[in-house]
Amino acid sequence: MDLYSGPVVCEVSLNWDSVYAVALELLRAHPDADLHSESLGQVFQWTLALPTFRDDPALCNDEILASIYQERYEVTIDDAI
């Protein structure tokens, strides 16, 4: 079962506090991304480009971006097991 594809049933606005949801949306938007070669700057740009993301870019910091990255990594690892 593929958790990262298919229609969105309920559209919810994402923000910097929605770390897990943002991570899932980034996995859907960039399924072939190489986590080992991404920068936090790339995570930032991709997050801002999500159609459902609605938050002030100035509220972001490296801790939030690292948390998004970590969630994506953990979901990817869990799927590989």
Q: Which domain holds residue 67?
A: 19-80
Which distant-in-sequence residues (6+ apart) come within 8 Å of 5 by Cβ?
28
Render 17-58 in DSSP notation, one character per residue. T-HHHHHHHHHHH-TT--GGG--HHHHHHHHHHSTTB-S-GG
pLDDT band at 1 (very low <50, low <70, confident <90, very high): very low
Asked if residue 40 is part of any domain, the answer here is yes
Percent with pLDDT over 90 in the chain: 75
- In order of 7, 9, 48, 63, the CA distances from 67 in angstroms are 26, 26, 16, 6
Query: pLDDT (tens digit, 9 = 90+) per residue, 25-58?
Result: 999 999 999 999 999 999 999 999 999 999 999 9
Q: What pLDDT is stored for residue 4 in this prediction?
A: 56
Whether 69 is covered by a domain: the verdict is yes
Asked whether residue 29 is assigned to any structural domain, the reply reads yes
Residue 68 maps to which CATH number?
Answer: 1.10.10.600
User: Count of domains in the chain?
Assistant: 1
Report the distance separating Cα 68 and Cα 62, nearest Å.
10
Write down the pLDDT at residue 56: 98
**Domain-embedded: residue 52:** yes
Average pLDDT across the chain, whole number: 89
Does 68 fall in a domain? yes
